[in-house]
Copies of this chain bind each other. A is one copy, B any other.
Amino acid sequence: MEKTFDLLALGELLLRLSPPDNERLTRGDTFTKQVGGAEFNVASGASLLGLHTGILSKLPANDVGTYIKNRIRFNGVSDDYLVYDESKNARLGVYYYENGAHPRKPRIVYDRMNTSFQQISPADFEESMYASTRCFHTSGITLALGDGPRETAVTMIRKFKEQGALISFDVNFRGNLWTGEEARVCIEQLLPYVDIFFCSEDTARLTFHKEGTQEEIMKSFTKDYPISIVASTKRTVHSPKVHTFQSMIYSAKNDCYFTEEPYRNIEVVDRIGSGDAYISGVLYGLLSDPDDLQRALEYGNAASAVKNTIPGDLPASDKRELDSIRKAHTATGIQLEMDR
């Protein structure tokens, strides 16, 4: 029997407020109004590439929540499993973000405590949901956001796994939400369920106390746990407006590493969500052709590189665009500047 969804993701949705261009949070008369959330970013990117995706989350039952729901749909993600908080103090988390320009770094102010999402509970969802998807994704941010989200994530990982879904997990360590040690203890309990594991080299070393080469570290996770695939990205920040991006994937089944040339000198417009876009590309690759990990890596890299050029948290590139970017990335000789 075919499953309704390719990918369901659990995570918080945030209202993002940003001053335009290079204006500062401390000044100015307008905010750009956007939506973000690590796991939603992943679901959006995968939907653009052709997967049928949905977001599992809890929103306040007010106009702000409705705005978020509208945006979720705009981005091609299903709102079938959104739940609403009708309580008096229902609220959506907010974050304030301003762009950087060398030597000024981007700045971010979070206001994401006491939210409706923190009231989420496994009881908000019906059991039939667990059989409806081929893959489930969440991240360490959800685990760090409090008891409700953590319990919901743990329950869901277990139940989706039972129903045969692949479990994808991104460490996504945020030092302002929990300590490295809290993260390690919590995540290690979940790793026995995880199939696809996203963890940067730095986090592996600092949080999981891994040692050795990048390759050795990636492989070690698959030895300790029944993880099939480990993916790791590396971003070089030349300046807030110029980055280089690359990644590596390790497949335990084949004991094999995959990589390609970095995307160099990306003209960064908005780097937020580019890590999530990477995951969307890799998951698209894995779910559409599980045996071609090189292709999955290339979609991940292209999705991430191009996301940096797009305002807001959310990716906005369909498969046609990523294919054209992948092609240009590896092409030699003269390339058309644009198609006309």
Of A100-108, A119-127, A181-189, A289-297, which binds chain B?
A100-108
| A174-B340, A267-B239, A321-B104 known; A76+B70 contact, CB < 8 A | yes
Proximity string of chain A (58-75) to chain B, C-beta cutoff 8 Å, 1 when within and 0 when not: 000011101100110111
Proximity string of chain A (259-270) to chain B, C-beta cutoff 8 Å, 1 when within and 0 when not: 000010111111
Identity of the chain B residue whose Cβ is nearest the Cβ of A263 in the assembled complex: B103
Quick check: is A310 within 8 A (CB to CB) of the other chain? yes
Quick check: is A91 within 8 A (CB to CB) of the other chain? yes
Of A110-118, A161-169, A213-221, which binds chain B?
A110-118
CB distance from A77 to the nearest CB of B (A): 9
CB distance from A179 to the nearest CB of B (A): 13
Quick check: is A318 within 8 A (CB to CB) of the other chain? yes
Identity of the chain B residue whose Cβ is nearest the Cβ of A107 in the assembled complex: B63
Q: Which residues of B contact A28 (CB under 8 A)?
A: 29, 33
Quick check: is A305 within 8 A (CB to CB) of the other chain? yes
Whether B108 and A325, one on each chain, are in contact in the complex, defined by CB atoms closer than 8 angstroms, is no
- Among candidates B108, B114, B306, B334, residue contacting A114 with C-beta atoms closer than 8 Å: B114
Whether A23 and B311, one on each chain, are in contact in the complex, defined by CB atoms closer than 8 angstroms, is yes
Residue from the set A21, A102, A109 with the largest chain B CB neighbour count within 10 Å: A102
- Among candidates B33, B67, B105, B176, residue contacting A337 with C-beta atoms closer than 8 Å: B105
Quick check: is A42 within 8 A (CB to CB) of the other chain? no
Identity of the chain B residue whose Cβ is nearest the Cβ of A100 in the assembled complex: B338
Cα distance A63–B214 when bound, in Å? 38
Proximity string of chain A (76-113) to chain B, C-beta cutoff 8 Å, 1 when within and 0 when not: 10000000000011011010101011111111111101
List the 10 shortest-distance A-B pairs measured between CB atoms, nearest first. A101-B309, A25-B63, A101-B267, A74-B74, A73-B73, A22-B269, A114-B114, A26-B66, A106-B338, A102-B267
Residues of A bordering B, CB below 8 Å: 17, 21-34, 62-64, 66-67, 70-71, 73-76, 88-89, 91-92, 94, 96, 98, 100-111, 113-114, 174-176, 202, 235, 237, 239-241, 263, 265-271, 302, 305-306, 309-311, 316-318, 321, 324-325, 328-329, 334-340
User: Given A27-B70, A94-B111, list of 12 further CB < 8 A pairs?
Assistant: A17-B17, A21-B21, A22-B309, A28-B33, A30-B32, A100-B309, A101-B269, A103-B266, A104-B309, A106-B337, A176-B340, A202-B334
